[in-house]
Chain A
Amino acid sequence: MTFFNVKALAVATATSAAALFSTAAQAVEIEYWQYFFDTRVEAMETLIENFEAANPDITVKMTHFPYADYRTKVAAAIPAGEGPDVVQLFYGWLNDYVAADLIQPLPSDVFPASKIDAEFFPMVQAMKEGDQYWALPTAVRSLALFYNTRLLEEAGVEPPTTLDEMIAAAKAMTKRDGAGNLTQVGMTAGMTAQDHHWWREGLVRQFGGEPYVDDYQTVNYNNEAGLEALNFYSSLFMGDDAVTSIGFMDEPQAAFKAGRAGLHIDGSFRIGSLEGQRGLNWGVTELPATADGTQSNYASYWVNAITTKAEGEKYDAAVKFMEYITGDEAMQVWLDVVGELPAKPSVGMTDENASDPVFGPFIRGLEYAHTTKFANESGQRQVMVEMVERMTLQGMSAEDSLAIAAEAEQKILDDYYKSASN
């Protein structure tokens, strides 16, 4: 960390020297930071171009980093007076950034809470404190069920709409060789991918539970509903009539992409990498409902915020930029380029978008989606991974494994909220 301080100091010295020698009275330049992902950078380049055309006195400089370094660099740069004026953050990080005084609330005259409450999907309200918003997303993500059209036709089944239909369809598409080794799975499975979201916010709720209480500070799945959800999930890959296996073709999305899996649950961000995959005909449908029609989904998002570094005319420019990138036009660009869903129903639920064969199921899923407030997403995912591994590798019962998982996840939450309150 010291390394970054020293480096930031060096950069600061160099840039302030450069500032001395450059002529004043130019356009205001603000900096925007996001992590590197091809289509996100491309979409942002388009947005910046449009924004600069409309505001000739402001230039926006985008910097991007590999995801792995992102948080470290932001944390080191802002206190040093360097870095972004507008920054993109994962929604789960917001509390840490607020506590560390790295971002400032959005001005309530331009971003009135009542207007945002009315216009955005309700999950965005996690970013609200009192009558001010700390940050706003351009786009949101949800889950849906991808299916391989060719395999469905071959097996003579329709895209499933309920969990029972899903199991039946998956069984029809599962293939084994003479020795009983799976050569094609009816459905993919793996808590390491998106299944941990599906299990928490999807299955547990669909089986009548509520995965967390107390504003996501208390684990609440170690009960009948949680057990039913776990039994359902593990029935996919355990037992003689398993329709999948964990680690088949290394990663769930790899198996689906290679055309060796009939069904695959994944996020809207997967669309981009599946499009143009040769020889793969696929479709999307909403996550399967229970027999009585209960649906539940998981949504997450990245938000944009103004950092405490932005002051004076840069602050005004940053507010204008924020207004643009969380507006209707930006949301449509983001949907078209990145494949992420608009954060406002007015943009997302247009007839064209909601009935889009690819985006439609994801957008409709947003209406019944929940957003998990993570303390440590990868740590909490690991708990789910190990919950399943204890059953598959060590033969532990679902009850015992579920209880251990609930305890382990509660410990992560306790440690996080305990140190946050210090």
Chain B
Amino acid sequence: MYRNLTIRQKQIVWAWAFLAIPILFYTVIRFYPTGNAILISFQDWNLLGDRTWTGFDNYQTLFADPVFWKVFRNTFVYLLIGTPVSLIISFVIAYHLDQVRFMHGFLRMLYFLPFMTSAVAMAWVWRWFYQPVPVGLFNNALASMGIPQFPFLQSTTWALPSVLAPAVWAGLGFQVIIFMAGLRAIPRSYYEAARIDGVSWWTVLWEITLPLLKPTIVFIVVFSSIGFLRIFDHVFNMTTNNPGGPLNSTKPLVLMIYETAFSAFDMGYAAAQTVVLFLVLLVVSLIQLRILRDS
């Protein structure tokens, strides 16, 4: 039968044969569990017993839960501080690194190294940096200069920025590399023309570099936003004894989901939180793509 097909039809058959594997994979590993999670969010299930239908109970509990709103706010604080800060820092680094010739490869490697380091190891090292006297690096330095200790992880105000800092640092390497690739892709002739016209450094940056970097910026913004909305490993490892603490001030949505599912074994409630997270990610990504692509 295969023999009687035209060449074009044969190509289609082969295309489908190859496509079938990822499609099957995605159906089993992604779509089926996703659908199941949505189903469980309307049920009560402790992982061991039967599942029972509860309608919108889980969602009602969720929206009436003050911890959920606190956590929801934290998640957006991670996003709204983390994304712009890491975007600006990585652009500044990439812009200058691009012009450096001396030990260029070595410097680039130094910036990329944190990205390759295990987040767990990094979080624990920073956790120890932040400890009070006598073990914390930062506080020991402060104390030796006669300055009072700073309550990095022990303060409801400062714990979140303290957790965020290493997370931003860890992601920088990747963003710097992407920015540098974007910068290299801008044709040199534009810059030469600008130099002949004698325009200022600022105009070159504002009128040539940034507009032509737009696709790169869109990619990094969307990518890092999703990353900060899903932040978990840094928070969990820096606050393991009191996850998301103190007083839930660092707890992101993903950590709340993890605790509901695997400490309280309230799978239905955890699934409802997952569905909310999924919708948030979807909406945020769509808005960003819209805003940044237009105009």
> Does B9 sit within 8 A of A, measured CB to CB?
no
A 167-206 contacts with B by CB, 8 A: 177, 179, 181-183, 190, 192-193
> Chain B residues with Cβ under 8 A from A2's Cβ?
32-33, 36
> Does A250 sit within 8 A of B, measured CB to CB?
yes
> Does A16 sit within 8 A of B, measured CB to CB?
no
> Does A248 sit within 8 A of B, measured CB to CB?
yes
> Does B154 sit within 8 A of A, measured CB to CB?
yes
> Chain B residues with Cβ under 8 A from A102's Cβ?
48
Contact A422 B52 (CB under 8 A): yes
Complex Cα–Cα for A343 and B264 (A): 28
Complex Cα–Cα for A1 and B149 (A): 46
> Does B265 sit within 8 A of A, measured CB to CB?
yes
Chain B interface mostly helix, strand, loop or mixed? loop
B 110-163 contacts with A by CB, 8 A: 127-128, 131-135, 143, 146, 148-149, 153-156
From B49, which residue of chain A is reached at the shortest CB distance?
A: A100
> Does A97 sit within 8 A of B, measured CB to CB?
yes
Residue with the greatest number of chain A CB neighbours at <10 A, chosen from B29, B154, B241, B264 = B241
Residue interface mask A89-108, B partner, CB < 8 A = 1: 00000001101101000000
> Chain B residues with Cβ under 8 A from A393's Cβ?
154-156, 246-247
> Chain B residues with Cβ under 8 A from A53's Cβ?
none
> Does A260 sit within 8 A of B, measured CB to CB?
yes
Contact B47 A1 (CB under 8 A): yes
Complex Cα–Cα for A260 and B134 (A): 9
From A249, which residue of chain B is reached at the shortest CB distance?
A: B135
> Chain A residues with Cβ under 8 A from B143's Cβ?
177, 179, 181
* Nearest chain B CB to A247 CB, angstrom units: 6
> Does B171 sit within 8 A of A, measured CB to CB?
no
Complex Cα–Cα for A102 and B49 (A): 9
Contact A6 B52 (CB under 8 A): no
> Chain B residues with Cβ under 8 A from A6's Cβ?
28
Contact B44 A422 (CB under 8 A): yes
> Does B288 sit within 8 A of A, measured CB to CB?
no
> Does A75 sit within 8 A of B, measured CB to CB?
yes
From B246, which residue of chain A is reached at the shortest CB distance?
A: A389
Contact among B48, B52, B132 with A75 in the assembled complex (CB-CB below 8 Å): B48
From B135, which residue of chain A is reached at the shortest CB distance?
A: A249
> Chain A residues with Cβ under 8 A from B241's Cβ?
190, 192-193, 251
Contact A419 B245 (CB under 8 A): no
Contact among A99, A182, A251 with B49 in the assembled complex (CB-CB below 8 Å): A99
Of A219-227, A228-236, A326-334, A378-386, which binds chain B? A378-386
Contact A96 B265 (CB under 8 A): yes
Q: Given A179-B143, A245-B132, A385-B242, answer yes or no on A99-B48 (Cβ-Cβ < 8 Å).
A: yes
> Chain A residues with Cβ under 8 A from B99's Cβ?
none
Instruction: Sort chain B's interface into a size bin.
Output: 35 or more
Complex Cα–Cα for A248 and B135 (A): 9
Contact among A96, A179, A190, A193 with B46 in the assembled complex (CB-CB below 8 Å): A96
Contact A386 B247 (CB under 8 A): yes
A 210-260 contacts with B by CB, 8 A: 245-251, 260
> Does A270 sit within 8 A of B, measured CB to CB?
no
Residue with the greatest number of chain B CB neighbours at <10 A, chosen from A3, A6, A72, A419 = A419
Contact A1 B146 (CB under 8 A): no
> Does B272 sit within 8 A of A, measured CB to CB?
no
From B264, which residue of chain A is reached at the shortest CB distance?
A: A376
Contact B262 A68 (CB under 8 A): yes
Q: Given A75-B47, A99-B49, A389-B245, answer yes or no on A250-B127 (Cβ-Cβ < 8 Å).
A: yes
* Nearest chain A CB to B54 CB, angstrom units: 9
B 44-68 contacts with A by CB, 8 A: 44, 46-49, 52
> Chain A residues with Cβ under 8 A from B264's Cβ?
376, 378-379
Contact B246 A249 (CB under 8 A): no
Residue interface mask A396-422, B partner, CB < 8 A = 1: 000000000000000000010001001
B 34-93 contacts with A by CB, 8 A: 36, 40, 44, 46-49, 52
Contact B52 A394 (CB under 8 A): no
Contact A96 B135 (CB under 8 A): no
Contact B133 A250 (CB under 8 A): no
Contact B133 A96 (CB under 8 A): no
> Does B263 sit within 8 A of A, measured CB to CB?
yes
Q: Given A179-B148, A192-B241, A393-B247, answer yes or no on A100-B48 (Cβ-Cβ < 8 Å).
A: yes
Contact B133 A181 (CB under 8 A): yes
* Nearest chain B CB to A234 CB, angstrom units: 15
Q: Given A1-B36, A1-B47, A250-B128, answer yes or no on A378-B263 (Cβ-Cβ < 8 Å).
A: yes
Complex Cα–Cα for A248 and B131 (A): 8
Contact B49 A96 (CB under 8 A): yes
Contact B135 A250 (CB under 8 A): yes
Complex Cα–Cα for A183 and B144 (A): 13
From B244, which residue of chain A is reached at the shortest CB distance?
A: A382
> Does B254 sit within 8 A of A, measured CB to CB?
no
> Does A128 sit within 8 A of B, measured CB to CB?
no
> Does A40 sit within 8 A of B, measured CB to CB?
no
Complex Cα–Cα for A6 and B247 (A): 39
> Does B257 sit within 8 A of A, measured CB to CB?
no
Residue interface mask B99-116, A partner, CB < 8 A = 1: 000000000000000000
> Does B267 sit within 8 A of A, measured CB to CB?
yes
A 1-52 contacts with B by CB, 8 A: 1-3, 6
Residue interface mask A360-401, B partner, CB < 8 A = 1: 000000000000000010110010011001100110000000
> Chain A residues with Cβ under 8 A from B28's Cβ?
6
Contact A389 B247 (CB under 8 A): yes
> Does A64 sit within 8 A of B, measured CB to CB?
no
Q: List 6 A-B contacts (CB under 8 A).
A: A71-B47, A71-B262, A75-B47, A250-B135, A376-B265, A379-B264
Q: Which 3 pairs show the lowest CB-CB distances between chains A and B?
A: A100-B48, A192-B241, A378-B263
Interface positions of A (Cβ within 8 A of B): 1-3, 6, 68, 71-72, 75, 96-97, 99-100, 102, 177, 179, 181-183, 190, 192-193, 245-251, 260, 376, 378-379, 382, 385-386, 389-390, 393-394, 415, 419, 422
Extra 17 A-B pairs, beta carbons < 8 Å, given A190-B241, A247-B153, A393-B247? A1-B40, A1-B267, A71-B47, A96-B265, A99-B48, A100-B49, A102-B48, A181-B134, A181-B149, A249-B131, A250-B128, A250-B135, A260-B134, A376-B263, A379-B263, A385-B242, A393-B154
